[in-house]
Structure 1
Amino acid sequence: METLQNHIGGRWEEPVGEDVVAVVNPATEEAVANFRAGNAEDVDHAVAAAGAAQREWAALTVARRVEGIHAWADAMAAHTAELAELECREMGKPVGIGRSFVEGAVAGMKAAADQALTYPFSETVTGPGPAGERTDIVRHPLGVTAVITPWNFPVAMVLGALGPLLAAGNTVVVKPSERSPLSTVRLFELAASSGLPPGVLNLVLGDGRTGAALAEHEDVRLVHFTGSVGAGRAVGAATGQRLNRCVLELGGKDPVVIDAGVDPVATAQAVAFGAFINTGQICTSMERIYVHERIADAFVEALVAAARTFTIGDGLDPATVLGPLVDARQRDTVRRHVEDAVAKGATVRTGGAVPERRGYFYPATVLTGVDDTMLVMTEETFGPVAPISVVADFEEGLTRAAASRYGLAATVYTDDPEHIAAAAHLPVGVVWVNQWQGGGPERLYEPARDSGMGATGARAAYDAATRPATVHIAATAPAVAR
């Protein structure tokens, strides 16, 4: 069994903390690695190392920083299969699916870093003042920043945050989820071999207490956190107390609104992918489905058929489409939500029962007859469950889609331009129309309601990673008295 270590100031180090955490393969329920959870002393050490490296890193030209990020990305690109296998071992994602996500994350980080080459770190603005007067706006890096990531996309979540932070001249301390640190450790091995200066990237392994110590550290000027609503509130409170920044991407209960004029079979196949891929363990998984009554029967039939093609198995098997849930606790949440729905009158059309086999598996499940009293329609399930509610018209679907405390994303299927225009007003960070996921590197968004705070993506990510200052230069200097 592998024993994992922190990576601080360019060196691998045993954490000071004494509590041992096991990393468990959810397909086999066997421990594959362990580590000692870092404590406040480990965090202090990592923040100090990041602080010591920051001035030299920020002094490099933007082009040199981007070049260093690209070198690391190229090293990761050569190991995508290995990284996907590590993700499979630590959280269950099938390797074929995982590899595509790793490849996308590496490409995304490079694209985000490249945006630094055109971002206005320094610009001159003009105003109504005297001729010769000048005002410069200079955007400085914040200093030491932190990235705290969840277990469902270990590689993608780390890389998605790091590109702008590093390219802007910040140094970073990363704290991955204690459930899935294997792939993140490998990322740091590749970073060390690609020539990034020591201390620019630092890794501290640990649990929620380690993350809290990082969020509460007065020298961490920005915390980029992805995780639960409860933990996000704690991060927001900690950073706010110290007048430091945070970017929070929290839970979701994403709706899908399906209009009468779309192909019910093709739409059902698309919804199956959005609901069940990664075993439903995506913040933007399709968790509430509102379908127009005119196509509801055909849609349900097609979705049930599609769900049955999601074969359960170990993600290391190329035939596997649906891997396990990350652990027993997460599977219990999914089972509880389904049982609550059934007890309140919902019908299981397929799935809905824990299979008798080793591993934390749960089948692709379709429910009908659901209503808004059920947990499966109000709380984040984070599992392979597609609850369907039939609506009388598109307007009812939009109204019910908006009636949630979450506001991460939403998907709409319609061929009506007026309905597309109406969907744009949903209180969410991203609206996808006729396609789940999508959008180029220039997109930016901010989650709404309990799904988070802080705009990110494209220029917004650089705005968050820098502090603007104004330098005002008068037309002439005062004359020297003689």
Structure 2
Amino acid sequence: MRTLQNLIGGGWRDSASPEAFDLVNPATEEAIARVPGGSPEDVDRAVEAAHRAQSAWAELPVAERVAWIRARADVIAEHAEELAELECREMGKPVALGRSFVEGAVDTLKNSATEALSYEFERTVVVSDDSRVRVLRHPLGAAAVITPWNFPVAMVLGILGPLLAAGNTVVVKPSERSPMAVARLFELLDLPAGVVNLVLGDVRAGQPLAEHERIQLVHFTGSVGAGRRVGAGAGERLHRSVLELGGKDPVVVDAGVDPVATASAVAFGAFVNTGQICTSMERVYVHRAIAAEFVEALVEVAGTYAFGDGRAPDTVLGPLVSEGQRDLVRHHVDDAVQRGATVRTGGVVPERRGFFYPATVLTDVDESMLVMTEETFGPLAPVVVVDSFEEGIERASRSRFGLAATVYTDDPEHMAAAERIPAGVTWVNQWQGGGPEMVYEPAGDSGMGATGARASYDAATRSASVHIAAAPARSTA
């Protein structure tokens, strides 16, 4: 097994610390690589490299920076299969699913970088006949990007475009559970030395990076607890932070929709990537008028989600990322059953090697259960029957989280009412729908900081104004 290295200032370097740990394939439980634990010295080197490279990168014309990024995106697209296979080995995602997300993220990288060509980095406002104001958007400097394990490549690509196109340099710290695909991604990026840097490790790298005095922006995606610490640290230094944290996303199913077709859509939203998506459907509120047929169809569809090694073409559900994550899912199900929930399908850890858990449907659940209040991040669909659409909206809104929500309805008034759910994104009749112009900011414990389209450029830049008046007239005395 090889020990992974950091990318600092354009060169691959061993960690300054000898401490390392095994990366385990969650489908086979076999060690596949050694990952450095990380150290403040690694972080210092990477941030210094980013700081040194930033002014030259920012001085390039915007069009040239965008051309660099788009050219590298094309190279990454050619390696989508390879990157997906690495993700499969390190965190279990089926290869076909991983490839589709890598390809989608490449498009996002290109589109978000191209947005820089129309973004107003500078504009002039005429104040009077003899004065004007130049309004400028400056890059922040060196930014830290700390990403989770569930979409290793897609998360990095989804964040990098605006940061780099705006003239910032970055230091990326991926999750210690999925560093291999990101390391290969950085080989393919091949931007000027120091523009992108990679530091591997766990909290021993993440904390000093988030708290580094030369980091002007921390873009963090992860748990609520860690996000609070990142935000508090950024506030202490008066540096900017964008936080995308946990979710407990609801879905409301109205009486007038097709229960079978909607059950299939909800199954996908709850089970895809083994439920390991921040915006997975984790609370299902279905109208009593169609509840019986909906649940029957949901159970039937769940049975078609075959689990296994993601390299097999018939695998729909890969393993959970770790034994600890599977134990959390099992704990949530056991808690629900002990409090009166009914397991309609799944709910049992299979007797086989790997951290697998089947697609599971629960009924007779309520808000006293962990599956309805805490983020599960597993292939569970807990179903609550409601007596009206209004009740569904009201109960969907009862959460400390506010990342995303989904509503299925054929009623125009109910479509409009969906916006009452406090969430950064609400999808009506199409989970994960939308386009590049979408802007969102999580609500509640799900985070802070608007992203998407021009909001990502606002977050990546600092505004300044220069007022220019006519020079004082010469004295004629």
TM band (smaller chain)? over 0.9
Distance 1:5 1:462 in 2: 31
Q: CA deviation at 1:368?
A: 0.3
Match of 1:3, SS state, is coil
Specify which of 336, 361, 369 is matched with residue 366 of structure 1: 361
Partner of 1:187: 185
Report the CA distance between 1:481 and its aligned residue.
4.4
Deviations 1:280-316 (A, max 9, x none): 0000000000000000000000000000000010001
Gaps of 5+ in 2: none
1:295 maps to which of 286, 290, 302: 290
CA shift, 1:118, in A, is: 0.2
Q: In structure 2, what is the Cα distance between the partners aligned to 1:390 and 1:438? A: 25
1:375 aligns with 2:370: yes
Give 2:252's match in structure 1, choosing from 250, 257, 277. Answer: 257
CA distance in 2, matches of 1:214, 1:348: 43
Give the whole-Å Cα distance in 2 for the aligned partners of 1:253 and 1:125.
Answer: 45
User: Which runs of structure 2 are paired with 1:184-223 in the superposition (5 Å)?
Assistant: 184-192=182-190, 196-223=191-218
Match of 2:435 in 1: 440
User: How big is the shift at 1:207?
Assistant: 0.2
Q: Deviations over 1:188-238 (max 9, x none)?
A: 11112xxx1000000000102211100110100000000000000010011
Query: What do residues 328-365 of structure 1 show as CA deviations (whole Å, max 9, x unaligned)?
Result: 00000000000000000000000000000000000000
| Aligned mate of 1:275, from 267, 270, 275 | 270
Match in the other structure for 1:73: 73
Question: Is this contact kept in 2: 1:412–1:433, CA < 8 A?
Answer: yes
From 415, 418, 421, give the equivalent of 1:423: 418
Deviation at 1:421, TM superposition (A): 1.0
Query: SS where residue 63 of structure 1 aligns?
Result: helix
Q: CA deviation at 1:3?
A: 1.5
How much has 1:479 moved relative to structure 2?
Answer: 2.2
Structure 1 position 142 matched with structure 2 position 137: no
Q: Measure how far apart 1:133 and its partner are.
A: 1.6
Q: How large is the RMSD of aligned CA atoms in angstroms?
A: 0.8
- 1:29-428 → structure 2 map (5 Å cutoff): 29-126=29-126, 129-192=127-190, 196-428=191-423
Do the aligned partners of 2:35 and 2:176 also contact (CA within 8 Å) in 1? no
Shift of 1:125: 2.3
2:471 is matched with which residue? Answer: 477
Counterpart contact for 1:16–1:36, Cα < 8 Å: no
Partner of 1:5 in structure 2? 5
Contact map agreement 1:367 1:386 (CA 8 A) in 2: yes
Q: Deviations over 1:411-438 (max 9, x none)?
A: 0000111111111121100000001001
Whether 2:465 is the aligned partner of 1:467: answer: no
SS in 2 for 1:206: coil
Query: In 1, Cα distance between the equivalents of 2:109 and 2:2?
Result: 28
Alpha-carbon distance, 1:131 to partner: 1.4
Corresponding position of 1:21: 21
Q: Deviations over 1:403-459 (max 9, x none)?
A: 000000000000111111111121100000001001111110000000000000000
SS in 1 for 2:289: coil
SS in 2 for 1:306: helix
TM-score (norm 2): 0.99
Give the partner amino acid of 1:114.
T
SS of 2:38's equivalent in the other structure is coil
* Matched AA of 1:42: D
Q: Provide TM-score, normalisation by structure 1.
A: 0.98
3-state secondary structure, aligned to 1:2: coil
% identity of equivalent residues = 70
Counterparts of 1:83 and 1:390, CA distance in 2: 41
Cα deviation for residue 2 of structure 1 reads 2.4
Instruction: String of CA shifts for 1:96-129, please: whole Å, max 9, x gaps.
Output: 1110000000111100000000000001224xx4
Per mean C-alpha deviation after superposition, the further-off stretch among 36-45 and 427-436 is 36-45
CA distance in 2, matches of 1:439, 1:187: 26
